[in-house]
Amino acid sequence: MKAVRIHAYNQMPTLDDVPEPEITGPWDVVVKVGAAGLCRTDLHIIEGQWDPIQNPTLPYILGHENSGWVHAVGSAVTNVAVGDTVIMHPLVTCGLCPECRIGNDSHCQNASFPGLNAEGGMAEYMLTNARAVVKLDPSLQPRDIAALADAGLTAYHAARKAAPRLHPGTHVVVVGSGGLGHIGIQSLLALTPAEITVVDRSEQALELAKGLGAHHTVVSTGDTDAVVRQVHDITGGGAHVVLDFVAEQGMELLGPNLIRNQGDYYVIGYGGTVQLDTISIISREINIIGNLVGTYEDLDQLMVLTAQGRISLHTSVYDLADFATAIDDLDGGRLVGRGILVP
């Protein structure tokens, strides 16, 4: 089968011929990949940022946002059958460790992470397990929802965590209306009554945010102070919650200045360094909150909202063989929404 594999850091991956995965265990599931999302994390993987954390053995197949159709199952699998449309939770978890037992499976102590430390889904087929597959309404097409497996899941997880703070009369600022942020906006609209302001450098991304239902938009210019003043004017002194879907290229320096005293700054994107004086943190009683990918339960809820038409992806579709063009478009800021690779 054809697969996009990374052979060395800071080099473009290649399209290789590799053997198809096979069922070897009772809980195994082989999926015929219908679509694989392209994520900024894939750029960071290529740059080697994840090597110290995940320590993968090169070469391996990229792709951690995957959807398709069940191709084969192990002898113990009963939750899906051959032919079912599925989306894969990005982690392949054990179900037995303490975190899995309480439903916090995104912190499974024995997980593998296809696309980061194991063979991923930028290929014609991929191997996962029964715990990772979510059976979908057959009306959902993989190319329309694949990126919800991570981008959507991560954005929904953050919105769901923030929702208890966002009662009527509160303000939330979303930094970045790209691949994650545009899903975060929809998640906030589905889960909370808060007023939403979106900050982005791209006028096109802000138009997308308006079309999704954002109440206010602010262009992030080089004048950080002006952006802060504009957001504070809109929110009446700062947001109760900021969800930063960028958190690099200077946005991580802007984000904490957009919250009011006792506000929450959620870090969802990454790549930069948050710089805050400790006296500012304690005197303002602000919270800095990290967000990893969501749980299986989060993904299940997200797919219900998607089937109801309340969450949708803005995508650009590429053939799997055109992965290098897709990567260049993402790196060059030419993608609005999410890049999708289709075998």
Q: How far apart are CA 290 and CA 140, in angstroms?
A: 31
* Catalytic residue of the set 7, 41, 78, 216: 41
CB atoms within 10 A of CB 22: 10
Q: Tell me if residue 57 is catalytic.
A: no
Sign of CA dihedral 79, 82, 86, 88: positive
Prior bond of 98 cis (ω within 30°): no
Asked if residue 251 lies in contact with residue 201, where contact means CB atoms within 8 angstroms, the answer is no
Q: Tell me if residue 44 is catalytic.
A: yes
Two structure tokens written together for 256: 């904490």
278-315 in b/e form (b: 16+ CB < 10 A) is: eeeeeebebeeeebebbbbebbebbbebbeeeebbbbb
Q: How far apart are CA 253 and CA 258, in angstroms?
A: 10
63: nearest Cα among 109, 159, 127, 129: 127
Tokens 């391996």 appear where?
A: 60
Name 241's bridge partners. 172, 264
* Catalytic residue of the set 24, 44, 157, 224: 44
Two structure tokens written together for 200: 């982005």
Active-site residue numbers? Answer: 41, 44
